[in-house]
Amino acid sequence: MKMDRLIALVMILLGHEQISARELAERLEVSRRTIYRDIDTLNRAGLPIYTKYGASGGVGLMKSYKVGKTVFTPQEIQNLMNGLHSYKQLFGRREMVYAAEKLNALYPENAEGRPSAPFVMDLSLNQGNESLRSLFGMIETAMNERSVLTFAYTDARGQISERQVEPYQVVFKESSWYLQGYCLDRQDYRIFKLARMSGLQVTKEQFTPRAFTPLPMDGSDWLNQDWVEVTIRLERSVMDRVIERFGVDHILQVDEHHCLAKYPIIANEYGYDRLLAFGDKCEVLGPPEIRRGFKAYVQGIMNTYEGD
């Protein structure tokens, strides 16, 4: 990590005539004492860094010191910066600060020709997922060190099982995080929802990576159940949810206040929960067995509150 910080420090100095130790410390998220120690280290390595004290003081590189630019274009730099920013939101890693500073020094934000970011990804974790940040770090460690993970897993039926898993990939899908890996207990590849995992541990047991191919996350294979195409009548205010999930071709008809839509579900509690999320803005029109099943499901919920 120190080497990354030293390189980032040099890249910042290359982009500035002179900069204060305070600003360096803030940008690299360390103390000023650490900055001065890093300057001493770089000086001993032969870099011509000077330090001026006083109101107009600061830190700088001698003008005779030159380093060439990379072959990255300004747009490529911006795309890399966007990716680093998103990654840092998830992990909160200081290493991402150092990497971003190196890239930023190549084309500073105010440099001529550097484009602004036309697309911004906000992957900052919500309050519920904030607790998952520690899991990201542990899973990444296990992937890098090829270590087996152990955890207790609660499935969709509420059943708890102990799992040993070779981790291969973490996937973000529809506001939830999933781990794809090889389950040693089931002797097959499996997908695990991070929010259903507890007691995660990185073991000392090493594994030899298999020929992993990412598992599809569209529900067609890993859910392994039959889908039913349901016709629903929606208020236009929630029509966007159908478009975001299945595409605009699933909207069959639109009038001033409502629309008809195709909304595929699995005919179980998971599928009914999807429909229930629309609240009173949705009416299930067919097939008849799904309308009856959904009505019974809602009635079961109402029975919980009988007697209040």
- Domain limits of the chain? 2-61, 130-206, 227-304
Q: Cα–Cα distance between 165 and 146 in angstroms, integer?
A: 11
Tell how far CA 209 is from the center of its chain: 23
Average pLDDT of the chain? 79
| Residues 6+ positions from 167 with CB-CB distance below 8 Å | 139, 142, 143, 149, 179, 180, 181
Are 2-61 and 130-206 the same fold in CATH? no
Looking at the predicted structure, is the pLDDT value of residue 97 above 50? yes
Mean predicted confidence (pLDDT) in 153-169: 91
Q: What is the pLDDT of residue 220?
A: 47
d(CA 291, CA 271): 12
Share of the chain above pLDDT 70, in %: 72
Residue 40 has pLDDT above 90, yes or no: no
| pLDDT above 60: residue 219 | no
Average pLDDT on 165-194 reads 90
Q: Which residues pair with 230 in a beta bridge?
A: 263
pLDDT of residue 27: 85
CATH number of the structural domain 2-61: 1.10.10.10
Class level of CATH domain 130-206: mainly beta
Integer Rg of the chain from CA: 27
